[in-house]
Amino acid sequence: MPAPNMFIVYVADAPEAARFYGDLFDMKPVFETPGYISFDLGGGVSLSLWSRLVVDLAADPVRTSEVCLAVEAARVSVDALCEEWRGKGVRIVDEPRDEGFGRTFVATDPDGNLIRVAPVD
């Protein structure tokens, strides 16, 4: 059976969200329309941003998923990345802390979508 290969994040403004994610993860879109922009994550996997103005979704949806950046990092690296993102104006909603799986924190994009940083399993 094929594995999922695309992750879609619903946003208010796809070009604005693409600038945010492009800057945050230092990547450029591989496909762009006014309401849908996609980034190649490698290995045939993509992250796509789809404008809520094009898709009929509630304006203030419940956040039940996260985009996760799994890093090969020691405690100080996760904390340093949190400070780097904070310096870019990224909103941190869950400060760095130790969990059973390691050091982690959670940020949001401008639409409130959750972005977790955690160690590689």
Domains in the chain, CATH or no CATH each: 1-56 (3.30.720.120), 65-121 (3.10.180.10)
Read off the pLDDT of residues 69-108 as tens digits, 9 standing for 90 and up. Answer: 888 866 778 999 999 999 999 999 999 999 888 899 999 9
Q: In this predicted structure, what is the pLDDT of residue 55? A: 52
pLDDT level of residue 110 (50, 70, 90 thresholds): very high
pLDDT, tens digit (0-9, with 9 covering 90-100), for 25-41: 999 999 999 889 999 99
Instruction: Using the predicted structure, report yes or no on whether residue 64 has a pLDDT greater than 80.
Output: no
What pLDDT, on the 0 to 100 scale, is given for residue 10? 87
Distance, CA of 98 to CA of 77 (rounded, Å): 13
Q: Which tens digits make up the pLDDT trace of 8-22?
A: 898 989 999 999 999
Model confidence, pTM: 0.80
Q: What b-and-e string marks burial along 21-33, b requiring 16 or more CB atoms within 10 Å of the CB?
A: beebeeeebeeee
